[in-house]
């Protein structure tokens, strides 16, 4: 960095610029140039407010606003030359504006600081990502609803400990993920509402003596209101932390679903077939069809959760107000946002394209003594046995079936009666998997009628 450039930036406070190492560690333009559109939007709103309050001449403000549009056009067109010597997106934009309109460009920074400027830019950017995430989650939920509706009455095994537990419906399983991603959507909307306060006008930390109109800039930028405390406004990165927290929980949900898709698409399960669009082959095994998209989604939680921990660690020991440590707040948020949104899109694509193998699902649903609980419940209802006694009787019948290499519905009635003489032919009515799922009619249960009710509810909830 030249002495001239340093003096332009710092108004003569330092006689010489930093050396190359200091320039490299101090500059953020390599990543915060992603905030260009938000930075220019904030500056245009600030310029309009400065004119409306009589702080700058209207002609100067209009020239600033037009010049900023020129800068934005150059950046979006790939014609803008970013300079590490100018440190960040704010100084790069301001320097180019001065080239366009002359010294009056310096009036743009009246009544603000880079502290409130970057907080505003970053909030605007995070808000955009929350909006994009909401769209991605809604699209994924719709894809899951389509799968649930198509297989509302298809039976499949429900698992605990990845062991066959009870039969459920395909629709019920899909709706479980609708609920998960629905909570993610709720968190996104909640986080957006909470963070939608405008820091602009807080200046460095104490506010400003100029007669600014913070309500005007907040409204122009789509915020609900200005922040109520200038010291907090420039110190706060809760909005970024909350974004990363929401992204981490959602990525965990995506990873759980991805894990099931990896298992379900294997030759041993054959529950689903993933489309070629989201699978790859093997370089040496021609029969392979690898669920690479699901595996990559499963891995994204590591970097997204890592970003959350990284920023929490940056912020945990900082005194008020701004510290240069906070320059390290952006790269991990940028990376997490990119990977979360990409994972949402990839999962929505996989769910939309995948084909469930109904026959394989039903065969698996009937295996592993999956209706044992139905048998125990029948013994309680029909023979008035205490549940613990019914559990013991059922366990004995499972052991008999296992010894004979058959499932519970295949045990002869006489064999069952040898364990408990009260068992009648009516027991076979509850041992089929379709009977089992149809009986689970409690609210939130797996019965097809309940699944269809939940599908209808979610269709009404989505915008």
Residues with active-site annotation: 161, 282
Whether 104 contacts 60, CB under 8 Å: yes
d(CA 87, CA 307): 23
Whether 361 contacts 154, CB under 8 Å: yes
Buried b (16+ CB within 10 A) or exposed e, 389-408: ebbbbbeebbebbeeeeebb
Looking at the DSSP bridge assignments, the partners of residue 225 are 197
Whether 156 contacts 173, CB under 8 Å: yes
Which tokens hold the place of 235? 């110190």
CA dihedral 269, 140, 453, 359 (to 10 degrees): -20
Q: What residue spans of 27-113 are helical by DSSP H? A: 29-32, 36-52, 58-76, 89-101
Q: Give me the DSSP letters along 12-45.
A: TS-SS---HHHHHHH--HHHHGGGHHHHHHHHHH
d(CA 158, CA 152): 14
Place of tokens 């900023």: 68
Cis ω for the linkage preceding 321 (within 30 of 0): yes
């Amino acid at each position: 960095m030249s002495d001239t450039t340093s003096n332009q930036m710092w108004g003569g406070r330092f006689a010489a610029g930093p050396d190359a190492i200091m320039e490299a560690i101090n500059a953020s333009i390599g990543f915060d140039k992603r905030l260009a559109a938000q930075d220019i939007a904030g500056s245009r709103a600030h310029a309009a407010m400065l004119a409306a309050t009589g702080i700058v001449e209207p002609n100067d403000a209009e020239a600033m606003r037009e010049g900023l549009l020129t800068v934005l056009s150059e950046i979006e067109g790939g014609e803008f030359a970013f300079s590490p010597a100018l440190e960040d997106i704010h100084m790069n934009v301001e320097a180019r504006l001065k080239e366009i309109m002359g010294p009056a460009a310096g009036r743009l920074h009246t009544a603000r600081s880079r502290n409130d400027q970057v907080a505003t830019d970053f909030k605007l950017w995070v808000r955009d990502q929350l909006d994009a995430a909401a769209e991605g989650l809604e699209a994924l939920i719709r894809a899951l609803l389509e799968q649930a509706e198509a297989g509302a009455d298809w039976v499949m095994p429900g698992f605990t400990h990845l062991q066959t537990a009870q039969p459920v419906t395909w629709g019920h399983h899909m709706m479980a993920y609708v609920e998960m991603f629905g909570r993610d959507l709720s968190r996104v909307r909640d986080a957006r509402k909470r963070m939608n306060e405008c820091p602009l006008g807080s200046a460095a930390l104490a506010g400003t003596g100029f007669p600014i109109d913070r309500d005007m800039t907040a409204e122009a930028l789509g915020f609900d209101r200005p922040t109520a405390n200038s010291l907090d406004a420039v110190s706060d990165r809760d909005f970024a932390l909350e974004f990363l927290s929401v992204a981490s929980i959602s990525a965990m949900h995506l990873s759980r679903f991805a894990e099931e898709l990896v298992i379900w698409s294997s030759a041993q399960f054959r529950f689903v077939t993933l489309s070629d669009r989201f699978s790859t082959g093997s370089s040496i095994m021609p029969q392979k069809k690898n669920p690479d998209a699901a595996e990559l989604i499963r891995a994204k939680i590591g970097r997204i959760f890592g970003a959350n921990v990284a920023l929490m660690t940056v912020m945990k020991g900082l005194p008020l107000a701004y510290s240069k440590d906070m320059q390290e707040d952006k790269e991990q948020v940028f990376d997490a946002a990119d990977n979360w949104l990409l994972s949402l899109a990839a999962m929505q694509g996989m769910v939309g394209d995948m084909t469930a193998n109904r026959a394989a699902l039903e065969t698996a649903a009937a295996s592993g003594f999956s209706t044992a609980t139905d048998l125990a419940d029948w013994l309680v209802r029909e023979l008035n046995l205490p549940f613990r006694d019914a559990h013991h009787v059922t366990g004995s019948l499972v052991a008999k079936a296992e010894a004979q290499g058959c499932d519970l519905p295949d045990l002869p009635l006489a064999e069952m009666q040898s364990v408990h003489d009260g068992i009648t032919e009516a027991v076979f009515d509850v041992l089929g998997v379709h009977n089992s799922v149809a009986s689970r009619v409690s609210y939130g249960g797996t019965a097809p009628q309940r699944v269809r009710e939940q599908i209808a509810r979610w269709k009404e909830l989505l915008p």
